[in-house]
Structure formats: structure tokens, C-alpha cells
Amino acid sequence: MAEFKEISPNATMGQKLANWFDNRYPSAGLFYKAHLSEYYAPKNFNFWYFFGSLALLVLVIQIVTGIFLVMHYKPDASTAFASVEYIMRDVPWGWLVRYMHSTGASAFFIVVYLHMFKALMYGSYRKPRELVWIFGCAIFLTLMAEAFMGYLLPWGQMSYWGAQVIVNLFSAIPFIGPDLALLIRGDYVVSDATLNRFFSFHVIAVPLVLLGLVVAHILALHDVGSNNPDGVEIKGPQAPRDASGRPVDGIPFHPYYTVHDIMGVSVFLMIFSAVIFFAPEFGGYFLEYNNFIPADPLKTPPHIAPVWYFTPYYSMLRAITTDMMYVLVLFVALAAAFVLLRSRMGMIGKAVALVAAALGILLMLVLDPKFWGVVVMGAAVIILFFLPWLDNSPVKSIRYRPGWHKWVYAAFVAVFLVLGYLGVQPPSEVGQLVSQIGTVLYFGFFLLMPWWSRLGEFKPVPDRITFAAH
């Protein structure tokens, strides 16, 4: 048992109360020092570093508003839609809570996408932060599951048929697909059993996993230290320190970055409030108009599309047709030939690689393109986990990379946005062709990164971070 700290009898009431609390819960004080007052962050954070704290804020908004919605929502196929309407019309301030939750779902993905783009620009996934990035990608994947399950709960037309389409995709998996789809639905069609399962996962199971991953992400980040726009380590063995051992290029997170983040939070909340009060449906992107119609299993909407934050991956799913499979087979064959020609493996190793490539091509030709569409859609997210080992650039930050690298990143963002737009639109021949080209470019960005990330003339990285007071 730790000894109690004594305090002067002349201390103020506040100091006495703090001392009383610290004597009885010293680990809280240690946590505060380790992660706030004595956690040193680089002093050159810019606009892009708002989005991490904003993601945490939106998570809190979603949890709090979700608790109030659950008080009135009924997870039953016959009453779910009516309970949402009851919340909107009869519960005091229910409309505000519901719009905060629905707008918060889209806001969550906006800030997470921007947060991930910041990491992409400044190399925040590079050594020693690989695990921070992996936890972040796991958060993104869990967030997608949480959003998908929550999307069914209003029990509107788009909720019902969107879930029907997405769950049916699992049936394309060979051998286990039909049983897996049945397990997810709990029935042969999306029904009351599906609604109850999704409600349980959305309210209890997935949020617990999400909170655990968020804590792991933050703890891993604070163990290795935050990255910065220069990609220069402020806590490494070569980093300058003052007489007391503190990083010269760092400042305590509290109070400096807590005040810094308050400014970002203020601007965000103004925009967030404007959307809630003036455009909560956001033109049908945040809340689809078909979702204001009760679910009808006998009437299929003319065009079924997921919410906007899933549409880039939905476009990739739709891009995989029989013709596209022939193109992918050609790419796989060329890649295998290139690897075999450039590899220094022995004859046995090359023979094994050749057999593996031939088997892969055979499977691509034999299995249903719908299955490969599901694979491509999943791979589009899973490939993000491997980014730390795909980037072979000698520098971290985009600031010190060749100028044309910025155009590569800009093209990647443009392709992602185009895929997102096409995922909302009804299928068309032109749209399908553009989606197929976009899918190839999306995966090309990552799969060719070990090659193109090394090319060009890199600028010298400074020994210390560049910082101008403002």
C-alpha cells in the first residue's frame, strides 16, 4: 500500500481535495501525466491533426445519442419503422437525437477518411507506428460493420433491400456461402430474426469491440509517439532533448493541444449543427428518401444502393463481370511472369510459383464473377492493413517526396471519389467501364507502391522539425 502524501494545512480547498483524491486513486494521476500533461507531441501539428480528436468526439456523440434512441426504439419487424416515426414525431427532442445520430454516422466516416488520408500523406503508418496503423484499419473495418448493421434498424425500403443484397453476397462464397448467409440472416430472407441479430450486434457487441480498438489505438500511439508533417522523430535516440530529458521539438499535449483541438471541435460542431438543422437528409445522401417508406418485402425499389460511405467498394463489387475477369486473369499472368523472370528462386521454387499462378488463374475462370466481386470488395479494405510494408519510400512525409508523388496521391483520391459517385448511380455501360478502370487504378496504387514509391528525386529531410509560431 502506497504512503499517503502530506499537504500543508494552509493549502487551498482545491489543493486539499486534489491531494485527497490522488492519495486514494494515484493511477488516475499517473494516467493524466502519461497521456496528457507529460505526453510530448510535436509542436508543428497542422489542420490535418484535428481529425483524430474529432473522430473521438463523434464516437461519443454516437454512443450518447444511441443510448437515448434505444430507450424508445423497438427491434421488431412489425413496429420498428413506427417506433422511429414515434421518436421523430412524439418523443420530446427525439427528432434532434435521431438526426444527430444519422448525421453522426456520415460525419464519422468523413473524419475517419480524412484522418486516414493524413496518415497516408505524412507516412504515419511507417516504422515504428505499424501497429498504430493496423489498429486504425481494424477500427475502420469495425466501423463499417457497425454502420451496416445500424442501417437496417429503421426498417425502411432501402434498409431492408440494402441488407438483402449485401447479405446475399455471402452466398456467393463456395461451399459455405449459403449456410453463412443463413447464419447472418437467421432466416431464409431478411426478417424479424435478422433485425434482432443486427440490433444486438449494433447496440452491444460491435461497440464494445470498437471501444477496445480505440483504446488500443490511442495507447499504441502514445507508446511510440505521434508523427508530424515532417516525419521527423522528436523522441528518437538522436532527437535533441533539454537538460531534464524532454524533447526540444515537443510540447505537452495538455494544455496546448487540448486548446488546439477545442478550436477544431468548435468549427466542426458549427458545421455539424448546420447540417442537422437545415439539411439532415443532405440531398438523400445521409438519409435516403426511400428509407422514409416502410420496408415492403414484396416491392423492390427501382435502384438499390448502399449509403455513400460504402459506395466506392460497392462500385468495385459491380465492376467485376465476366469480361473483367479475363482482364484480371491477364494481369495475374503478366505479374506471375514478371516475378518468375526477375526472381532469383531456384527451379523448384519457380515451378511451385508457376503451379500456384496456374491454379489461381484456373479458379478465377471457374468460380462465379459474383464471388470475385465480393473478394475484390473485401480486398479493397484488407489491403490497407499491409500499407506499412508496401511503401518503400526513403522518406515518410509527402513534403520531401518528388513532386509527382503528390499527383499520384491526388489521382488516387479522384479515383476513390469517382468510384463513390458511381456506386450511387444506377448501373450503366459507361459507368461500369469507368468503375472497372477505377478498380484497376485503386489496386494498382497499392500493388505497385513498392516500385513507384522509390522513384524520383527526394528532398533532404531536416534533422529537426520545421515550425513557425502562429
Burial class from Cβ neighbours inside 10 Å (0-12, 13-18, 19+) for residue 105 reads: buried
Whether residue 57 has pLDDT greater than 90: yes
How far is residue 391's CA from residue 123's CA, in Å, rounded to a whole number?
A: 9
Note the pLDDT of residue 147: 95
| Section 255-259 average pLDDT | 90
Whether residue 428 has pLDDT greater than 60: yes
pLDDT class of 1 with cuts at 50, 70, 90: low
Residues annotated in the binding site for a ubiquinone, as ranges?
Answer: 222
Query: What's this model's pTM, rounded to 2 decimal places?
Result: 0.92
Note the pLDDT of residue 6: 77
Taking the alpha carbons at both ends of the chain, their separation in whole angstroms is 47
Q: Give the rounded distance of the alpha carbon of 467 from its chain centre.
A: 30
How far is residue 130's CA from residue 142's CA, in Å, rounded to a whole number?
A: 18
Whether residue 456 has pLDDT greater than 80: yes
Domain boundaries, the chain: 34-234+245-292, 311-452
- Between helix 369-382 and helix 322-342 the angle, nearest 10°, is 60
Residue 398: all three cell numbers together? 509527402
- Half-sphere exposure of residue 418: CA atoms within 13 angstroms, side-chain side: 19
Among 96-100, 108-112, 414-418, 463-467, which is the least confidently predicted range? 463-467
Of 270, 272, 378, 364, the C-alpha closest to 321 is 364
CATH match of 34-234+245-292 with 1.20.810.10: yes
| Section 359-384 average pLDDT | 85
How far is residue 447's CA from residue 332's CA, in Å, rounded to a whole number?
A: 12
pLDDT class of 392 with cuts at 50, 70, 90: very high
Residues annotated in the binding site, as ranges?
Answer: 101, 115, 202, 217, 222
CB 280, CB 286: distance < 8 Å:
yes
Summarised one tens digit per residue, pLDDT across range 85-130 is 999 999 999 999 999 999 999 999 999 999 999 999 999 999 999 9
Residues annotated in the binding site for heme b, as ranges?
Answer: 101, 115, 202, 217
